[in-house]
Structure 1
Amino acid sequence: MQCAYFDSARCRSCTLMGEPYAAQLRAKQDRCARALAGSVASTAWLPPVASAEAHFRNKAKLVVGGRPGAVTIGILDATGGGVDLRECGLYEAGLGEMLPLRADFVDDVRLEPYDVASRRGEIKHLIVTHSPDDELMVRFVARSRKHETLLRKHLPALQREIPSVAVVSMNIQPEHKAVLEGDLELVLTDRELLPMDVGGVTLQLRPNSFFQTNTAVAAALYRQARDWLGAVSPRSVWDLYCGVGGFALHCATAGSPPPDEVLGVELAPDGIESARVAAASLAALGQVTGNLRFEVGDATTLVHRGLEVPDAVVVNPPRRGIGTDLAGWLDSSPVRHVVYSSCNVDSLARDLAAMPRLRPVGARLFDMFPQTTHHEVMVLLQRWSA
């Protein structure tokens, strides 16, 4: 992929830009294999799942800079000035094409960009998510609710100009620090959910829901987990750190037969509500036949509640990994199989070392983030009996 922003040194966020994609993929595979060499045999690795080199991101997270009537959307330079990246080639068709129009909307409405140096202004970020159905969710991250009335007034004009805009919200982040968004989310449209068809299973996203930024590779990730679990036919499955329920929903709607019980657990209430809506919709279509449920809670607390231990567990933790407590419980429990999806191979390596009774029998790299060193790697663990 060639990028004019990178070549002109206006943006160096994509640290591998200009390197042949095959070389990028090979380096990531080698990096993950080396990090996990103490636990994962070379024969356990499946071929990596590659991504499109460009136009793969379903979400744009853009800093709003400049001044009213002449905004920039992109990043900030070393001095805190706005660098406009509205023509970035990473975004999916349907998302990238609309970014200039959304920047024009900010200009036309005279929304006031937040100035980092002076700590004045209102609009900090513009976050836009694109669905496979070509619908958009637009979030305005602001310092306060000052522009709420203005946004509500001009919302019909935005939707007329860009009919694909289905959900619009305003997130309030009042603090002057490097935090993308705040706790308060004001949904400005009648709709508050964006359906995301991922590998034939429709997930539901609220404005502050976490979702993988590469839809095609996310579909491959869920498909691999479903296939691994389908091959061992667990009667019951826990999906820990479930987010909007991607792994749980794919597991519950696949297999012959699918598991009798699937439980998804997540700390974020909005994620659980989204998962429940998706589950109800799939059940109404007859795609869910077993007992599928979702609970708000902490994964480590759940395992000490005395519940009946499942046959299989899926974990998809944040970068820090699952930690010694949960890893120790999994290692000593009767759980037969664990599917562990990680965005940090180093924390994954630590956690695998803490689970010696669970041996990796499958591993795969999923390249969610071409042009960068970031990676997603997933392993299938099987209980080993001496």
Structure 2
Amino acid sequence: MNNRRHVEIVGAGIAGLSAAIAFAQRGWSVRVHERMPEVRIVGSGLSIFENALRVLRVLDAEADTIRGAWMGENFQTRDRFGRVTSSRVRMQRMYEVTRHRLMAALLSSAQRAGAEITLGSAVASATPAGEIRLMNSRVLRADLVIVADGISSRLRDQLSIPYRRQSMQDGAIRTMTSRTAEETSGPDASTSLEYWSGHRRILVVPCSNTDLYVALTTLDSDEAGRSVPLKLDLWGEAFPGARSVVERLTGEARWDQFEKVKMRSWSAGRTVILGDAAHAMAPNLGQGGACAMMNALSLATRLEAAQDIPSALTEWERLERPLTDHTQLISGLYSDLTYWPNRLRAAAFWTVSKSKWLAEQTYRCSLHIPTGTEHLPELQSQA
């Protein structure tokens, strides 16, 4: 008799693949359903802090993710002319990686762990009883169902869990460009730069020796600022201190309005919601993907010896959710800075850079030791 437990996972994104690896590592049989004919990759750059690096190490995906990536040692905010308004040395490691590299690393690790990745497999419905029904009407039963099909989840409504999906007032155009020789060897070579000009800002982060990740953030009501293709003259005039970067932003770009999702509960019976489908947040802290990975690993860790899965899911959420909720809150407050006058916002950044308590509140998530990684060495400090 086969007593091996089985999990069906809907969605092959960051949350779904992380869960696939973690459960397969613990002896579960794992099947991942991805409705697209290939694993989808949306986005450009992604910040990977020490908390996420620890999870990736356990998931056997850290080395592949950060290979060739550039470690960020400092973070600065600057005004539109490039004058520094706040500066801090990062408390621990941070890499900016391409989303493609992270997804490739997770997919490869999931396959090595023995997870079955089923492409072109669309799921029509899920139930709290641990069942999913495919579009071809085939019904699959499992000890656990994980719904990780993103912010626009089509299965979330079927579980009758009250939730709210809210569009935020701001969003970003994200793109990549090449680094110049000066940028790879100059004083800002390992510094993440955030320029502010009124309600617009530009984030410039090195991804590798050759690539820069650039995010241009503004209000959704700023029709000129959010238009794609980019209005290079407009952004260059708004940010003379970053004009040399703006002028190179001629590649593929897309506008995404920030959104957040808040659910009353993350699970119903034997079915759990994971990742952006459960707790999407503005990307201001670079912790949305980290929360998805941490929650996936902690889920597998806490269910490893659980006999009563619905009760174990409730306990998992009780223990893990407060950090995700805190991170979602702080990230939303960061978006509110878009409305602040330049001088007041600069003063706020300076205060955070000088206050240990405020810094700990802001970066609580990145400083966290994720469940399932306690056996690894302590957080590696950059200071």
Please indicate the TM-score interval, normalised by the length of the shorter structure.
under 0.3
Q: Which protein shows a greater Rg? A: 1
TM-score by length of 1: 0.26
TM-score by length of 2: 0.27
